Structure 1
Amino acid sequence: MRILHTSDWHIGRSFHGHSTLEALRGVLETLAVQVRENDVDVVIVAGDVFDSAAPAAACYTLLSDTLRAISDAGAHIVVTSGNHDSAARLGFQSALLRDGIHVVTDPLSAGTPISIDDEHGPVHFYGIPFLEPALVRHLWAETDLRSQRAAVEHAMGLVRSDLAERGGRSVAISHCFAAGVEATPGVEREIRQGSLDVVPLSVFDGPDYVALGHIHGRQQISERVRYAGAPLHYSFGEADKPRGSWLVELDAEGLASVEWIELPVPRRLSTIRASLDELLGDPRFAAHEDAWVCAQYTDPTPQPDPMRRLQARFAFCATVMHTPEGVRGPDGLTYSRRVRAARSDAELVDAFLAHVRDGEGATDAEAEVIRDVIDERSLVEATS
C-alpha cells in the first residue's frame, strides 16, 4: 500500500496581509497529480486543514475541490482535525463527502480504525484529532488528563489495545508536538513552552507508521515517526524548509520504505539586509525582485516611508524591519536628565535626538541646520 502523508494545509491563512488561497490551490492541484503519478492508495492530512475555526466560503470550496481531485486520482483520504480547525464544522462536512473520504474529528473514535484493504489484507488507520485536555477530559473521566501529553498517551493506549485484538498493519495519525522536534521560531504559534505538552516518542510505539502534523517543516523523529510540514511557506522563518509530502510504502510485513516527494514553491521567500540605499539600488539584490521579501535596513536611524520605496523595486516586499548596525548601548540617561544637562537650545535639540535615536545625537549637517534655525529665530525675536 502506498500512502501520501501531508498536513497543515492551513486553508485561509494570510501571509503578511496577502491571501494565500490561489497559491495553495496551485500546490494542492500538483499534490493531486502526484497522487495519480505515484499510484497512491491513501492520502493522510494530519490536522490543521483550515487556519481558523470559522473559515470563509472560498476555503470550503478549495477543500472540496482538492478532496474531489485526490479521490478522482484513485486514492482514499483520511483527514483529522487540528488545533486550528473547528472539529464540529469539519466533522459536519464529512457527512456530505463521497465514499472513500474519511474525516476524523471525534476523540472517542481514536481507538476505532478506518480499515482499507490492499493485496496483503487490511491496513488500520487510527486517526487522533487534536486533543485539548480541557475539552476532552470529561470524555475519559477515569483518567487524569492535565496535559496534551497525557491525552495523546491515553489515545495511543486505546490504539494499541484495539490493535492487539485486530492484528495486522497499522498507521496512527496525530496532531501534536513530539519530543525531538526542532520548532521554527514564530512559526508554530500555539506550541507551549516547557514540557507539559511535549509528547515522548515512546508514546507512539506500536503502529508501523505514525503521521504527525502541527510542525510546519519536514522532520524525521524516527524511521517510522515523521512530520510532513505545511505545503506552503507561511513565515519567513520557514524559508529554508522544503515543501512536500512523505510517500510511505507498506508491504506485507509493515513499513517498507519512505520517500520525500517535493511540492512546488509558488514564490520563494528572501530576507535581505543592507542600508536602505543599497537595498533600493545595489545590483546584488536584483535576484530577489520576484520573491516575497523581508527587508531589513541597517541605517542608524529610521527612514521615511521605507515600505513604499522598497515596493517600487521589490513588488512583493511583505515586511520591513529597521535593524540598525553599530547602535550605541544605553547610557542610562533619562530624557529629563538629558534636558537638564543641556546648556543651550542647540544642545536641547541634540538631547532630544539622542533620546529618540538610541543615543545618536545630531550629525554635523543636522547641527548646522539646527544652528541656522535657532539663529534665525533669535534674530526674529530680537527685531520684533
Structure 2
Amino acid sequence: MRILHTSDWHIGRSFHGHATLDALRGVLEALTAQVRENEVDLVIVAGDIFDSATPAAACYTLLTDTLVALRETGARVVVTSGNHDSAARLGFQSALLREGIWVLTDPRAVGIPLTLEDEHGPVHIYGIPYLEPAIVRHTWRGVELRTQAQALTHAMELVRADLGARSGRSIAIAHCFAAGVEATPHLERDIQQGGLDVVPLSAFDGMDYVALGHIHGRQRLAEGVRYAGAPLHYSFGEERKPRGSWLVELDAAGLGSVEWLELPVPRPLVTLTATLAELLEDARFADAEQSWVRARYTDAAPQSDPMRRLQARFGWCAQVAHAPDVRHVPAEQTYAGRVRETRNDAELVDAFLVHVRNGVGANDAERELIGDVLDEKVVAEVTA
C-alpha cells in the first residue's frame, strides 16, 4: 500500500497580513498531481486542516475541492482534526462526504480502525483527533487525563488493545508535540501555553507507521514516526525548511520505504542583511525582488520610514528590523550625568542622540545642521 502523509494545511491562515488561500490552492493542486503520478492508495492529512475554529466560507470551498480532487485520483483520504480545528465544524459534513473520504474528529471512536486491504492483506488505520484533556476526561472516565500527553498515551493504549486482536499492518495518525522534535521558533505555540505538552515517543510503540501533525517542518523521530510539516511557509522561521510530504510504502512485512516528495514554493522566503542604502540599491539583492523579504538593516542609527522605502523595491517585504552591526555597551555614567557635563547646546544635543541612538552621536552633516539651527536660535534671541 502506498500512502502520502501530509498535515497542517492551515487553510485561511495569513502571512504578515497577506492572504495565502490562492497560494495554498496551487500547492494542493500540485500535491494532488503527485498523488496521481505516484499511484497513491491512501492520503493522510494529520490535523490542522483549517487555521481557525471559525473558517470563512472560501476555506470550506478549498477543502471540499481538494478532497474531491484527491478522491478522483483513485486514492482514499483520511483526515483528522488538530488543535487549530474545531472538531465539530470539521466533522459536521463527514457523513455527507463521498465514499472513500473519512474525516475523523470523534474521540469516542479512538481504537476503532478504518481497515483497508491490499495484496498483502489488511491495513488498520487508527485516526486520533486532537485530544483536549478537559473534554476527553468525560469520554474516558476513571482515567487520569490532566495533560495531552496522558490523553494521547491512553488513546494509543486503546489502539494497541484493539490491534492485539487483529492481524495485519497498522498506521496511527495523531496531532501532537512529540518528544525529540525540533520546533520552529515563534510558530508552533509554546508547548504549555498551546496546550500541547510533550508526548513520549514510546507512546507510539507497536505501529508500522505513525503520521504526525503539528510541527511545520519535516521531522524524522524514528524510521516509522514522522512529521510531514506544512505545505506552505507560514513564518520566516521556516525559511530554510523544505515543503513537501512523505510517500510511505507498506509491504507484506510492514514499513517498506519512505520517500520525501518536494512541493513547489509559490514565493520563497529570504532574509536580507545590509545597510538600508545597500538594500535599496545594491544589485546583489535583485533576485529577492519577487520573494517574501525579511530585511535587517545594519545602520548604526534607526532610519526613517524603512518599510515604505524597502517596499518600493521589494514589493513583498513583510518584516523590517533595525540590527546595527555594533551594539553600544552602555557606559557606567547615566544619561543625566552626561547632560550635566555638557558645556554648550551642541554637546547637549549630541548627548541626547547618543542616548536614543544606541550610542551613536551626530555625524558631520548632522553636526553642521545642529550648528546652523543653534546659530539661528542665538540670532533670534538677540534680535527679540
Aligned partners of 2:149 and 2:199 also within 8 Å:
yes
Q: 1:334/1:56 Cα in 2 relative to 1: closer, same or farther (>3 Å)?
A: farther
Match of 2:185 in 1: 185
Question: Which secondary structure state, in structure 2, belongs to the residue aligned with residue 165 of structure 1?
Answer: coil
Match of 2:252 in 1: 252
Counterpart check, 1:271 vs 2:271: yes
Match of 1:131 in 2: 131
Partner Cα distance (2:11, 2:4) in 1: 19
1:161, distance to aligned residue in structure 2 (A):
0.4
**145-154 vs 132-141, greater mean Cα deviation:** 132-141
Aligned partners of 1:270 and 1:292 also within 8 Å:
yes
Q: How does 1:197-276 map to 2 (within 5 A)?
A: 197-276=197-276
Paired amino acid for 1:93: Q
Question: Which secondary structure state, in structure 1, belongs to the residue aligned with residue 50 of structure 2?
Answer: coil
Aligned partners of 1:50 and 1:59 also within 8 Å:
yes
Q: 1:39/1:158 Cα in 2 relative to 1: closer, same or farther (>3 Å)?
A: same
1:265, distance to aligned residue in structure 2 (A):
0.9
> For 1:100-138, what per-residue CA distance to the aligned partner results, in whole angstroms no more than 9, with x for missing partners?
111111112111111112222221110111112223222
Number of residue-to-residue matches in the alignment: 384
Of all paired residues, the percent bearing the same amino acid is 71
Question: Which secondary structure state, in structure 1, belongs to the residue aligned with residue 352 of structure 2?
Answer: helix
Paired amino acid for 2:365: A
TM-score, normalised with respect to structure 2: 0.96
Match of 1:290 in 2: 290
Question: Which secondary structure state, in structure 1, belongs to the residue aligned with residue 222 of structure 2?
Answer: coil
**273-282 vs 340-349, greater mean Cα deviation:** 340-349
Match of 1:77 in 2: 77
Aligned partners of 2:71 and 2:101 also within 8 Å:
yes
Partner Cα distance (1:43, 1:333) in 2: 65
Q: 1:337/1:57 Cα in 2 relative to 1: closer, same or farther (>3 Å)?
A: farther
The answer for unaligned runs of 5 or more in structure 2 is none
1:187, distance to aligned residue in structure 2 (A):
2.2
1:35, distance to aligned residue in structure 2 (A):
1.0
Aligned partners of 1:71 and 1:101 also within 8 Å:
yes
Q: 1:219/1:145 Cα in 2 relative to 1: closer, same or farther (>3 Å)?
A: same
Partner Cα distance (1:49, 1:67) in 2: 11
Paired amino acid for 1:21: L
Partner Cα distance (1:320, 1:141) in 2: 51
Aligned partners of 1:290 and 1:314 also within 8 Å:
yes
1:328, distance to aligned residue in structure 2 (A):
0.8
Aligned partners of 2:125 and 2:171 also within 8 Å:
yes
Partner Cα distance (1:225, 1:82) in 2: 18
1:322, distance to aligned residue in structure 2 (A):
1.0
Match of 1:327 in 2: 327
Counterpart check, 1:119 vs 2:119: yes
Aligned partners of 1:111 and 1:126 also within 8 Å:
yes
The answer for unaligned runs of 5 or more in structure 1 is none
Q: 1:295/1:339 Cα in 2 relative to 1: closer, same or farther (>3 Å)?
A: same
> For 1:242-289, what per-residue CA distance to the aligned partner results, in whole angstroms no more than 9, with x for missing partners?
111111111222111111111111111111100011111111111111
Partner Cα distance (1:340, 1:48) in 2: 59
Partner Cα distance (2:289, 2:243) in 1: 22
Match of 1:40 in 2: 40
TM-score, normalised with respect to structure 1: 0.96
**74-83 vs 111-120, greater mean Cα deviation:** 111-120
Partner Cα distance (1:98, 1:202) in 2: 36
Q: 1:264/1:203 Cα in 2 relative to 1: closer, same or farther (>3 Å)?
A: same
Aligned partners of 2:191 and 2:198 also within 8 Å:
no
Q: 1:197/1:50 Cα in 2 relative to 1: closer, same or farther (>3 Å)?
A: same
Aligned partners of 1:331 and 1:359 also within 8 Å:
no
1:352, distance to aligned residue in structure 2 (A):
1.9
Partner Cα distance (2:182, 2:190) in 1: 14
Partner Cα distance (1:359, 1:333) in 2: 13
Q: 1:83/1:333 Cα in 2 relative to 1: closer, same or farther (>3 Å)?
A: farther
Partner Cα distance (2:190, 2:3) in 1: 28
Paired amino acid for 2:308: R
Paired amino acid for 2:261: I
Q: 1:196/1:265 Cα in 2 relative to 1: closer, same or farther (>3 Å)?
A: closer
Match of 1:174 in 2: 174
Partner Cα distance (2:333, 2:126) in 1: 62
Match of 1:60 in 2: 60
Structure 1 ranges of 4+ moved more than 6 A = 193-196
Partner Cα distance (1:282, 1:263) in 2: 31
Aligned partners of 2:131 and 2:152 also within 8 Å:
yes
Q: 1:310/1:42 Cα in 2 relative to 1: closer, same or farther (>3 Å)?
A: same
Match of 1:154 in 2: 154
> For 1:6-58, what per-residue CA distance to the aligned partner results, in whole angstroms no more than 9, with x for missing partners?
00001111111111100100010111111111111110000000111111111
1:378, distance to aligned residue in structure 2 (A):
1.3
Paired amino acid for 1:269: L
Paired amino acid for 1:321: A
Partner Cα distance (2:81, 2:325) in 1: 45
- Give the superposed CA RMSD: 1.7
Partner Cα distance (2:355, 2:93) in 1: 57
Aligned partners of 2:48 and 2:83 also within 8 Å:
yes
Match of 1:90 in 2: 90
